[in-house]
Structure 1
Amino acid sequence: MRPHRLLLTAVLALALLAAGCAVVKDHKANVTLQKTPPVHIAVVPKSVGLDYWSKVHLGAECAAAQLPGVKITWNGVTDETDVVGQLNLLNNYIAQGVNGLVYAATDATAMSETSDNATKAGIKTVSIDSGTTPQPANVPLIATDNISGAQLAAKELAKAIGPQGGKVAIIAFHAGSQTNDQRVQGFEQELKHYPKLHLVGLQYSQNDYNTALTVSSNILTANPDLKGMFAANEASDIGAVEAARIAHRTGKVKIVGWDTSPDEVSGVTEGIVSGLISQDPFRMGYDGVRAATDLL
């Protein structure tokens, strides 16, 4: 799943998403399940509450609606940093003996045995958005190319700042999450091609808007000459934008964010955000459930 640049076309992307299941209606196919219906698939996001995961949920529901006899259960922790909570939730589904498990790992290392335990129990398992380290060979991973996406973010930030360069910062979200770590890695790799851009800070929002606002404000205060910020997910982007507003530095500090929630798109249309890296969360949820049923 390749990321792509999103500027003012964000509104169009959201309009397409609003069509919901109609977007993928042509992918409806006759599937013969080896399991006797009903087939129960548990879908576990990193957390619930963010616009991004709501779109993943819609995609998962769409896939289930197209598959007679398939029922999904959607459940997740409220805080993406609640690794223990997600682990307990996944273990409960494994103990229940669900037919399929589709999940996004909050921590790549901590969840490394979860997929193995599920498959050993006969549960067809699929990783979405964020996989594990290591990723079992028999567990598909449906995810964005986060390294390439972050490299694109660095290019766009460099373009927005201009040839004079300057100080930049990263507002990441949760260390240990595969998506987070890959985005930081990709951005830092690409930044090496721009010697006039200097990384002066890496902070984590913990996937919380208020924390993102706080750490972004701290970076802006400590660096009055800061030229740009890469906000690596929805919460980080919204917090960074608000921090720039409060500091009266919108336009002076260029921001490139990630994902396309309505609030993030507003940042683009208002000219505060130079660009967003767009994913397809609806399709990620859809393909995750379809992949699990294909394994049955």
Structure 2
Amino acid sequence: MSFRARWMVPAAVLAVLVPALAGCGGGGGSAPGSKQLTIAVVPKAVGFDYWTHVKDGAECAAQKLGNVKIEWNGVSQETDVTGQLNLLNGSLQRGVDSLIYAATDAQALVPVTQKAQQAKIPVYNIDSGTTPQNVPLFATDNIKGAQQVAQIMNEKLNGHGSVALLEFQPGSMTNNQRKQGFVDGLKQYPGLNLVADQADHSDSNQALDVTNNILTAHPDLNGLFGSNEPSVIGASQAIKQRGQQGKTVLVGWDAAPDELNGLKSGEISALIVQNPFRMGFDSVIAAVQHIRQNVNVTNEDTGVYTVTSQNMNDREIQAILQPSCANPPLPPDDPWLKYVNMK
């Protein structure tokens, strides 16, 4: 059975569902007489494969809904908190109909959310939220995913060894949750010892240097967790330069082309993969349906998957790794599918 058949709503069901929804303003287009909506979608940064998939999902949703414009903009580095603040405030000043963003800092971005709420502009977080989290968040269960990393490490190392953690941006919700999940997960495996924990500030060149420093200090390191795309790429380069392939188990996060190449070559043992397309798609559908039909929006776990060289070519995994609007990686129980015609 194909991925589409297993994960997508069957065409026969949609044929009945969509006309029924049309009577209440739903379906695969804008409601009659509805004005064009401008939805600002702001990632942590642009230029990364992961965030490009978020953009693809958001634009797919806009296309399916009709009469929706996506205003996509972002800073070049995830560490540029001030730059993101300026972009978000600019979107609010332009009077967008809704604001969707991934917070580069869990606390510094709280005032933006508050300002949007005061202006009666619906606001949602994707991937990374704020502290406190007072608006719906469309994101991975990062704690659960990082606990899976600890489990993989334990399996690969037969329950014994020294391991290290590469953080990417301390202070961001996703970074903190992945660290928490990994550290908590390691407590289940007393034979694994965390000997190093350093940050690379989401820069692959810094990740390369930091990994080399860790390997110099701990030449017998058995396992390494790279907690985002740049972390994994830099760590993989360091391991390759030192000829440590097969000696140091590297488990990464996300699935950029360089990461997948590392998985194929054996430099990377496994990847914890998110569904960024779904984050962009579902958050836009939710924002529009809230505005047009006053639909209630709540937090959503967008899923997490373990990808290895053994399963990376499976249909379901390929749909997540290479998502498209023609075959979006959306499970059949996705709560927002009923509002659009996916034909």
Q: Smaller-chain TM-score range?
A: 0.7 to 0.9
* 1:278 maps to 2:268: no
**SS in structure 1 at match of 2:269:** strand
- State the alpha-carbon separation in 1 of the partners of residues 260 and 208 from structure 2: 18
Amino acid across the alignment from 1:220? L
CA displacement 1:108-163 (0-9 Å, x = unmatched): 11111211210211211111000110011xx2110000000000011001111123
Residues 34, 154 of structure 1: alpha-carbon distance in 2 compared, 3 angstrom cutoff: farther
Among 211, 218, 229, the residue aligned to 1:216? 211
Residue identity opposite 1:169 in structure 2: A
- Distance in 1 (CA, whole Å) between partners of 2:212 and 2:228 is 17
Change (3 A) 1:222 1:178: same
What is aligned with 1:160? 156
After superposition, where does 1:71-82 map in structure 2 within 5 Å? 71-82=69-80
Rounded Cα–Cα distance in structure 1 between residues aligned with 2:202 and 2:288: 31
The answer to whether the 8 A contact 2:166-2:226 is kept is yes
**Alpha-carbon spacing, 1:25–1:229, altered in 2? closer, same or farther (3 Å):** farther
Per the TM alignment, residue 96 of structure 1 is displaced from its structure 2 partner at its CA by: 1.1
User: 1:169 aligns to what SS in structure 2?
Assistant: strand
Aligned amino acid, residue 150 of structure 2: A
1:50 aligns with 2:48: yes
Where 2:79 maps in the other structure, the secondary structure is coil
Matching residue of 1:185: 180
Instruction: Indicate the residue corresponding to 2:138 in structure 1.
Output: 142
Is contact 2:30–2:65 with CA below 8 Å preserved after alignment? Answer: no
Q: Structure 1: how far apart are the matches of 2:72 and 2:196?
A: 36
For 2:281 and 2:176, locate their aligned partners in 1 and report how far apart those are by CA, in whole Å: 25
Give the match for residue 39 of structure 1. 37
AA aligned to 2:206 is: T
Tell me, in whole angstroms, the C-alpha distance in 2 between the residues paired with 1:33 and 1:272. 51
| Cα distance in structure 1, aligned partners of 2:206 and 2:59 | 31
Q: What residue ranges of structure 2 are gaps of 5+ in the alignment?
A: 19-26, 292-343
Measured in 1, the distance between the counterparts of 2:31 and 2:258 equals: 41
How do residues 99-110 of structure 1 correspond to structure 2 at under 5 angstroms? 99-110=97-108
Q: 2:261 and 2:9 mapped to 1: Cα distance?
A: 27
Aligned CA distance change for structure 1 residues 62 and 32 (closer, same or farther; 3 Å): closer
- In structure 2, what residue type is equivalent to 1:59? G
Assess if the C-alpha contact under 8 Å between 1:33 and 1:293 holds in 2.
Answer: no
Aligned to 2:114: 116
Q: Assess, with a 3 A threshold, how the Cα gap between structure 1 residues 171 and 33 changes in structure 2: closer, same or farther.
A: farther
Whether the 8 Å contact between 2:30 and 2:67 is mirrored in structure 1 is no
Aligned counterparts of 1:35 and 1:126: Cα–Cα separation in 2? 25
Equivalenced residue count is 274
Alpha-carbon spacing, 1:120–1:166, altered in 2? closer, same or farther (3 Å)? same
Matched with 2:92 is 94
State the Cα distance separating 1:270 from its structure 2 match.
1.0
| CA–CA distance in structure 2, aligned partners of residues 179 and 159 of structure 1 | 25
Q: Which has the larger radius of gyration?
A: 2
Shift of residue 84 of structure 1? Answer: 0.7
1:254 aligns with 2:242: no
How far does residue 205 in structure 1 lie from its aligned partner after superposition? Answer: 1.6
Tell me what 1:202 maps to.
Answer: 197
Question: Which residue identity does 1:96 align to in structure 2?
Answer: R
Q: CA, structure 1 residues 119+158, in 2 after alignment: closer, same or farther (shift >3 Å)? A: same
Q: Is the 8 A contact 2:29 2:64 kept in 1?
A: no
Give the corresponding residue for 1:236. 231
Equivalent residue of 1:71, what SS?
strand
2:69 alignment partner AA:
K
Instruction: Assess, with a 3 A threshold, how the Cα gap between structure 1 residues 210 and 107 changes in structure 2: closer, same or farther.
Output: same
State the 1:67 CA deviation.
1.6
Q: Is the 8 A contact 1:126 1:291 kept in 2?
A: no
Evaluate the alpha carbon distance shift between residue 222 and residue 30 of structure 1 in structure 2; reply closer, same or farther with a 3 A threshold.
Answer: same
Displacement of 1:291: 1.2
Query: 2:156, 2:262 → 1: CA distance?
Result: 15
Q: Which residue of 2 aligns with 1:13?
A: none
